């Protein structure tokens, strides 16, 4: 059996665990200026605060709302401890996000999944003060839906053989992969409930959802063959984006922002001994239109000398005159293991590259050591 764990209002729960005064109050974690609500307490939701609602609007719907700024280091720490508990029950744990994951209890016939899940739920509450919901089913998909069905602090078990019956009466958007767009499209053609997708003739469904139709119908019938993966592997891209407090029309300012982002991302690449082959710049204009441009190198890199000259060019290609920019983003994709010293044979170019790489890494390490002394705290 597979268990899906879903923390309830995770960020807010962590804040409440750290500061019990916040319990029982309308609390949200979110940004101030043009930010959005990332997590809202049960009390806040009663006022109509939901995610991702603009913070400004949330404050309007619920004037007494306490908005806390997120502390992602703390959330990551709680997350790690939460999944450490799960690993005491089974080595087959797959984290899918900071507050969600699967674990497979299948192999041990002496373990009753429900009893084990209850113990885990209790333990997370006792030791972390975090409320989680758990879904138990024969596959990932059904376990995930089950865990989200009756939050908070729920434990929903779907007995083997009843997957399809369980999903049938739910509205389509409960299926993972059915977001606002597809949901609306399905409704347009009269498909409102999951049972209707399960029973729809395939040619009809294919007309509506294209190549996705087969998988969608499998899911609607409660079928899913994915396994719980203990090691999800490395990230496939590194990126950053920033929404400005006010829309920006200054190209130099945006270029400066891109440089800062590039520095940070290249540091991350080097730290993880990765290099990227593709760089993408994205602008979001004041009308919420996203425009992006990308360039690929013949070989992966993580060096300023390669990346910096590209930024003005990418910005120029993405830039539209007379339109102000609300967001700028930079992303590195097509990641590879970085080539580091000791690789043979070395031609002149790659030798220079290696020296640059070592110098850059050294600089990163020096910065990492110096910063805590300079600032009085570590990152």
Partner DNA sequence: TCTGGGGTCCTAGGACCC
The reply on whether position 312 binds DNA by CB under 7 A is no
Residue 74 near residue 14, CB atoms below 8 Å: yes
SS3 81: helix
Identify the residue among 239, 248, 310, 324 touching DNA (CB under 7 A). 239
Q: How many chain residues are in contact with DNA, going by CB under 7 A? A: 60
Secondary structure E strands in the chain = 2-7, 27-30, 37-40, 66-68, 93-97, 100-104, 132-137, 155-157, 238-248, 274-285, 290-301, 325-337
Distances (CA, A) of 141 to 52, 167, 184, 191: 24, 10, 21, 20
Q: What is the DSSP letter of 173?
A: G
Of 15, 43, 94, 100, the active-site residue reads 100
- Contact stretch for DNA (CB under 7 A) within 149-157, 285-293, 300-308, 354-362: 285-293
Known active-site residue 264: no
Identify the residue among 178, 194, 220, 276 touching DNA (CB under 7 A). 178
- Contact stretch for DNA (CB under 7 A) within 109-117, 193-201, 248-256, 275-283: 275-283
* CB-based burial label for 344 (10 Å; 0-12, 13-18, 19+): exposed
What is the rounded CA–CA span in Å between residue 248 and residue 10? 33
Q: How far is the CB of 44 from DNA (least distance, A)?
A: 16
Identify the residue among 280, 302, 306, 307 touching DNA (CB under 7 A). 280
The reply on whether position 98 binds DNA by CB under 7 A is yes
The reply on whether position 169 binds DNA by CB under 7 A is no
Residue (153 or 241) nearer to DNA, CB: 241
Neighbours of 332 (CB within 10 A): 25
Interface residues toward DNA, by CB under 7 A: 31, 33-36, 38, 51-52, 54, 56-57, 59-60, 96-100, 144, 148, 175-183, 210-212, 235-243, 277-278, 280, 288-296, 317, 326-327, 329, 331, 333-334
Catalytic residues: 100
């Amino acid at each position: 059996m597979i268990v899906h764990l879903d923390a309830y209002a995770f960020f807010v729960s962590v804040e409440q665990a750290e500061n019990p005064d916040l319990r029982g109050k309308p609390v949200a974690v979110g940004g101030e200026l043009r930010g959005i609500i990332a997590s809202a307490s049960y009390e806040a939701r009663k006022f109509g605060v939901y995610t991702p609602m603009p913070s400004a609007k949330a404050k309007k719907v619920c004037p007494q709302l306490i908005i806390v700024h997120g502390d992602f280091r703390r959330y990551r720490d709680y997350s790690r401890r939460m999944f450490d508990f799960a690993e005491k029950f089974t080595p087959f744990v797959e984290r899918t996000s900071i507050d969600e994951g699967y674990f497979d209890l299948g192999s041990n016939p002496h373990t009753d999944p429900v009893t084990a899940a209850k113990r885990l739920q209790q333990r997370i509450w006792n030791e972390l003060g975090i409320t989680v919901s758990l879904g138990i089913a024969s596959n990932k998909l059904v376990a995930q839906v089950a865990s989200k069905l009756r939050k908070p602090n729920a434990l929903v078990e779907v007995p083997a053989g009843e997957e399809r019956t369980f999903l049938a009466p739910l509205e389509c958007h409960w299926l993972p992969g059915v977001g606002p767009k597809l949901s609306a499209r399905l409704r347009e053609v009269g498909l409102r409930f999951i049972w209707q997708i399960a029973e729809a003739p395939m040619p009809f469904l294919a007309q509506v959802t294209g190549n996705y139709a087969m998988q969608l119908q499998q899911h609607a019938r409660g079928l899913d063959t994915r396994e719980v993966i203990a090691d999800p592997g490395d990230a496939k891209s590194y990126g950053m984006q920033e929404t400005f407090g006010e829309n920006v029309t200054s190209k130099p300012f945006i270029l400066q922002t891109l440089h800062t982002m590039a520095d940070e991302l290249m540091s991350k690449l080097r730290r993880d001994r990765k290099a990227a082959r593709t760089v993408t710049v994205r602008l979001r204009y004041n009308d919420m239109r996203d425009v992006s441009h990308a360039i690929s190198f013949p070989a992966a890199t993580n060096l300023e000398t390669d990346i910096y000259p590209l930024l003005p060019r990418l910005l120029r290609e993405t830039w539209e005159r007379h339109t102000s920019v609300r967001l700028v983003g930079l992303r590195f994709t097509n990641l590879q293991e970085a080539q580091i010293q000791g690789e043979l044979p070395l031609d002149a170019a790659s030798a220079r590259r290696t020296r640059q790489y070592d110098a850059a890494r050294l600089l990163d390490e020096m910065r990492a050591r110096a910063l805590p002394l300079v600032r009085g705290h570590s990152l």
